Chains A and B, each alone.
Chain A
Amino acid sequence: MKEIVKKLSKLPNWLLLSLILPLLALSLSEKGGYILSKIEIPKVWTDEAMKTWELPNPKPEYSPQPVSEEYYYAMAERTIYRSYPVYHPDHEPEGYWEWLQSLEPEVVWDPSKFITEEDWIKAGEMLFDHPIDTLGAILTNDLVRNPDFYDYVEMPLTPEGIMPFSRWVVTGKGRVRVGNLSCGMCHTRVMPDGSLIKGAQGNWAGDKASVFFATEEGFEPDSDLIRSMGFLMNALFGSPWSDGDPHGKLVSQGFDAIVNAFQSVPIGTFGRQGTSILFAPQAPDLIGVKDRKYLDHGGLGQHRGIEDMMRYIAMNQTLDVLNFYGDFSPLGIPRERLIPDRPIMFAGTHDRYSDEQLYALAKYVYSLTPPENPNKPSALSEKGKIIFAEQGCVTCHTPPLFTNNKLTPAEGFEIPEDHYEKYDIFDVSVGTDPNYTFNTRRATGYYKIPSLKGLWYRGPYLHDGSISQLEDFFNHERLQEGWSPKPIKGHEFGMYLNEGDRKALVAYLLTL
C-alpha cells in the first residue's frame, strides 16, 4: 500500500486527478455509493427484538412466544436450488419432464456476487418464487401432473400454460419435486388475460387443493388419516383458548366437516398457519407494503424498518408453528423439545432463511410496483373522488397511501391504556367480523386499516375476503339476513348512495 501511494505521489497532478475524479463521481452517484458502501444486513432474530416486535394477543397470556435466538440461529440455512416452471400437463413442452430428470441440482444462492441493490432485488425475486417445502405440504408431483386436479381447482394459468404458484425443484439428479409455500404461492395473481402480477393478492384455490384427495372416487378416510387431519388442524389453526374454540369444534365435527371447510375458503383468501380455515384471511397485496406500518390483517407485526419485514417473512414462512401460546404448542411438543441443533421436522421448521436471504426478499418486496392501471380518471371518477371525500372515506383511507396506517379495534375490544402510546390507534371500530382478530393465533384485537391502492386488480375484499365486488360495500342489503352466503356486517359507509353516486365512487376507487 505504502509503495502504491509512493508511486502515485510521483505522478503528475493532471494524471492523478484524471484517475481520482471518476472514482469520486462514482461514489457520489446512487449506484456507486451503494457499491462502495458495505451493506449492513440486520440481525433479524434477537431475543430482545422478538419480545416487542409483535402485538400481544387480546388475551395477553396467549401472546406468541417465538423460539430463542440461540435455537433460531442453530437451524440450518436454507439451500436454494435452481427451480423450473410447472406446466399444466396438456401444455408441458415435449420432453420437458424427462429433461428435468436429467438435470443436476444447482445451488443458485451466492450473495458474494451481489454488488448493486438491483442484484439483491433480483436475488430476492428468485427467493420469492422459491418453495420452502418439497415434501408435499399442499401440492404433490402427482397432483400437478393430473389434469383433473387443474379442473377441480379451476387453476388459473398463463398463456403458456404455466401454473405460476409453484416451481419444480431439482434437489438431486432424478429428484424432481414440486415445491410448496413459496411467497409467490399466495402472492401471485393471474389476471383474466393471463398476465401475472407478482406480489398481488393470489387467486388460486390453495385450500381446496389441499383436500383434492378426498374427492377422488372411492375415497374413504381411514383412522390414521382422520388422526393426521386432527393433528394438522391443530398445527395450522389450533387456538383452544379462543372463545368457543371454533377450530376444536370443527375437528370434533369430523372429517367431512373439515374437508368442507377447506373447500369453502374463497379464492383470494388462504387458511395460512396461525389463522383460520373458518375465517381465512385475504391474501394480502404486497405491492406498496413498504409504506405500511403494520403487517398481517390484525397488525400482528410492527413494521418500523426492513428488519421488521425480514422478521415477518421469517415468521410467516411457518416458523410460527414453533411458537408457544401460553403452554400451547401448535405441534404439540413440550418446551424441552426445543433444543438448538435438533430441528423439528415440519414444513418450513427444519431450516431457516439466512439473514442475507431475508434481506434480499424484503428488498424485492419493497421494490414491487403495480402495473399500469387501465382505469384512467374520467368525469365519472372525478365525481366519485368528491363523494369519497364527502363520505369521509379520507379519514381512514387517507391519500396518498389511501390508508392512515392505523389499527382499528374490533368491536368489543377494550384497548389497553399502554397501547395508545405504543401503537397507532384509530380508536373507533367499524364493526367488521371480529373472528380473525379474536379467535386465531394471530389475534391482536385490531384490524389494520387497509390501503385502497390497487383495488382494480384485487379482490375479494375485506380482511376475510367476504366482499366479492366493490359495489357490495355500498349496498345496505349486505347487512341483512338473506345476503348470500351470509350477511356482511360492518364498514357501513356510503350505504345509501343513489345509484349514480355509487357508480361514480366505484369508478374512482378503480382508478387508485
Chain B
Amino acid sequence: MDIGYLDIVVAPWRSLRILCARCVNPTLINKKNRLFLVFALVPFLLIAQSVKPESPIQFKIKNAGITVDGTISDWEVEVDFDPKKLSQSIIRGKANPESIQTGIKLRDKHLQGREYFHIQKFPFISLESKSFQPRGKNAFVGIFELQIRDVKMEVEIPFTLSQTGRQQKFKGEFIIDRLDFGLGEKSLVLSDEVRIFVEF
C-alpha cells in the first residue's frame, strides 16, 4: 500500500518489527523491556523525516509588466501534521537558492549573488511553522517563520490538505515583499511583491 510521505514515518516501526522478528530472540523482550523500547523510540518517531518534494517551489514576479516565472527545485520539507492535533503539528522547509531558475542563466546567477540571495553567505532559505488554525474543510492557515538571507519574518500561509488514505498533500500560496528580506533594491520595473506557490 502506498502511504506516501507517511511511509517514511512508519518505516522505522516496520524495520523494528523486522529486526525483532529476525534477529532478536522474542523471549528477550520482556514486558519491562518492551515498555522501555516504546518510551525510547517514541521521541524519535515523533520527529518527522525530511523529504524532497517532486514539485519545485514556484514563484512569480512582475518585471517590466511581464510576469517572470521562477522555480527553486532543490528543497526539502519535514512534516508532522495532524489536522486533529494542530498545536502539536509541525511543518519545516529548507530550500537551496542556488537551484533558482528563471529561464535566463545570467539572471539566475545575479539572483544568487549578494544583491539577492547571496548564496555564499546564506546558503539556505528556511521556513518553520509556529502555529496552525483551521479555515474550513481541509483548509488551514499557518504562521511560519521565514528566513531569507539574515532576515527572519513571520508570514501567514493559507494552505489546503488533501488526504488520501495516509497520504497527505499540501498546497499553499503566499506573497512576500522581497525588500523586507533584502532581496535587491527598490526598482521602477521590478515588483516588490513575489507570489510563492508550494506543493508537496
Interface residues of A (CB under 8 A from B): 386, 388-392, 394-395, 398-400, 420, 426-428, 430, 492-493
Across-interface contacts of A492 in B (CB, < 8 A):
106
- Flag if A390 contacts B66 (CB, 8 Å): yes
- Flag if A394 contacts B64 (CB, 8 Å): yes
Across-interface contacts of A420 in B (CB, < 8 A):
114
Question: Whole-angstrom distance between the alpha carbons of A390 and B65 in the complex?
Answer: 9
Q: Mark B43-79, 1 if CB is under 8 A from A, else 0.
A: 0000000000000000000011110100000000000
Across-interface contacts of B34 in A (CB, < 8 A):
none
Partner of B106, one of A398, A399, A428: A428
- Flag if B64 contacts A427 (CB, 8 Å): no
Partner of B107, one of A388, A389, A395, A427: A395
- Flag if B110 contacts A386 (CB, 8 Å): no
Question: Whole-angstrom distance between the alpha carbons of A420 and B113 in the complex?
Answer: 12
CB distance from B165 to the nearest CB of A (A): 43
B contacts with A: majority SS: loop
CB distance from B198 to the nearest CB of A (A): 25
- Flag if A399 contacts B188 (CB, 8 Å): yes
**Please, could you name 26 A-B residue pairs with CB atoms under 8 Å apart, sorted by A?**
A388-B64, A389-B64, A389-B66, A389-B189, A391-B104, A392-B63, A392-B68, A392-B102, A392-B104, A392-B107, A394-B189, A395-B63, A395-B110, A395-B190, A398-B187, A398-B189, A399-B64, A399-B188, A427-B113, A427-B114, A427-B115, A428-B106, A428-B109, A428-B110, A492-B106, A493-B104
- Flag if A400 contacts B114 (CB, 8 Å): no
Give the residue name and chain of the B residue nearest to A491 (CB): B106
- Flag if B66 contacts A386 (CB, 8 Å): yes
Partner of A398, one of B66, B104, B188: B188
Give the residue name and chain of the B residue nearest to A431 (CB): B106
Given contacts A395-B190, A493-B104, 7 further A-B contacts (CB under 8 A): A389-B66, A392-B102, A394-B190, A399-B64, A400-B188, A426-B110, A493-B106
CB distance from A417 to the nearest CB of B (A): 10
Across-interface contacts of B188 in A (CB, < 8 A):
398-400
Give the residue name and chain of the B residue nearest to A420 (CB): B114
Give the residue name and chain of the B residue nearest to A394 (CB): B64
A contacts with B: majority SS: loop
Going nearest first, the 7 A-B pairs with the smallest beta carbon separation are: A389-B64, A389-B66, A394-B64, A427-B113, A392-B104, A428-B110, A392-B107
Question: Whole-angstrom distance between the alpha carbons of A391 and B110 in the complex?
Answer: 14
Using C-beta atoms within 8 Å of the partner chain, give the interface range for chain B.
10 to 19
CB distance from A401 to the nearest CB of B (A): 9
Across-interface contacts of A391 in B (CB, < 8 A):
104
Question: Whole-angstrom distance between the alpha carbons of A399 and B64 in the complex?
Answer: 9
Question: Whole-angstrom distance between the alpha carbons of A400 and B65 in the complex?
Answer: 14
Give the residue name and chain of the A residue nearest to B103 (CB): A392
Across-interface contacts of A430 in B (CB, < 8 A):
106
Partner of B63, one of A389, A428, A493: A389
Give the residue name and chain of the B residue nearest to A387 (CB): B66
Across-interface contacts of B66 in A (CB, < 8 A):
386, 389-390
CB distance from A234 to the nearest CB of B (A): 38
CB distance from B117 to the nearest CB of A (A): 12
CB distance from B103 to the nearest CB of A (A): 8
Partner of B113, one of A389, A394, A400, A428: A428
Question: Whole-angstrom distance between the alpha carbons of A442 and B75 in the complex?
Answer: 45
Give the residue name and chain of the B residue nearest to A492 (CB): B106
Question: Whole-angstrom distance between the alpha carbons of A386 and B110 in the complex?
Answer: 21
Across-interface contacts of B110 in A (CB, < 8 A):
395, 426-428
Name, among B63, B64, B107, the residue most crowded by chain A CB atoms within 10 Å (CB to CB): B64
CB distance from B169 to the nearest CB of A (A): 33
Across-interface contacts of B102 in A (CB, < 8 A):
392
CB distance from B77 to the nearest CB of A (A): 30
Name, among A398, A420, A492, the residue most crowded by chain B CB atoms within 10 Å (CB to CB): A398
From known contacts A428-B106, A428-B109, A430-B106, infer whether A394 and B114 are also in contact, taking CB-CB under 8 Å: no
Question: Whole-angstrom distance between the alpha carbons of A426 and B111 in the complex?
Answer: 10
Give the residue name and chain of the A residue nearest to B113 (CB): A427
Across-interface contacts of B107 in A (CB, < 8 A):
392, 395
CB distance from B49 to the nearest CB of A (A): 37
In residues 98-125 of chain B, which contact A (Cβ within 8 Å)?
102, 104, 106-107, 109-110, 113-115
Question: Whole-angstrom distance between the alpha carbons of A504 and B112 in the complex?
Answer: 31
CB distance from A278 to the nearest CB of B (A): 28
Question: Whole-angstrom distance between the alpha carbons of A388 and B65 in the complex?
Answer: 11
- Flag if A426 contacts B104 (CB, 8 Å): no
Question: Whole-angstrom distance between the alpha carbons of A394 and B66 in the complex?
Answer: 11
Give the residue name and chain of the A residue nearest to B115 (CB): A427
Question: Whole-angstrom distance between the alpha carbons of A427 and B121 in the complex?
Answer: 15
Across-interface contacts of B68 in A (CB, < 8 A):
392
Question: Whole-angstrom distance between the alpha carbons of A400 and B64 in the complex?
Answer: 11
Question: Whole-angstrom distance between the alpha carbons of A388 and B66 in the complex?
Answer: 10
Across-interface contacts of B115 in A (CB, < 8 A):
426-427
Question: Whole-angstrom distance between the alpha carbons of A229 and B67 in the complex?
Answer: 57
Question: Whole-angstrom distance between the alpha carbons of A428 and B102 in the complex?
Answer: 16
Question: Whole-angstrom distance between the alpha carbons of A492 and B63 in the complex?
Answer: 20
CB distance from B166 to the nearest CB of A (A): 43
- Flag if B189 contacts A399 (CB, 8 Å): yes
Across-interface contacts of B190 in A (CB, < 8 A):
394-395
Across-interface contacts of A428 in B (CB, < 8 A):
106, 109-110, 113
Across-interface contacts of B114 in A (CB, < 8 A):
420, 427
CB distance from B110 to the nearest CB of A (A): 5
CB distance from B70 to the nearest CB of A (A): 11
From known contacts A400-B188, A428-B113, infer whether A394 and B106 are also in contact, taking CB-CB under 8 Å: no
CB distance from B18 to the nearest CB of A (A): 52
CB distance from A107 to the nearest CB of B (A): 47
- Flag if A394 contacts B63 (CB, 8 Å): yes
Across-interface contacts of A493 in B (CB, < 8 A):
104, 106
Question: Whole-angstrom distance between the alpha carbons of A181 and B34 in the complex?
Answer: 96
Give the residue name and chain of the A residue nearest to B112 (CB): A428
CB distance from B3 to the nearest CB of A (A): 43
CB distance from A494 to the nearest CB of B (A): 10
Across-interface contacts of B65 in A (CB, < 8 A):
389
CB distance from B29 to the nearest CB of A (A): 61
Across-interface contacts of A388 in B (CB, < 8 A):
64
Give the residue name and chain of the A residue nearest to B66 (CB): A389
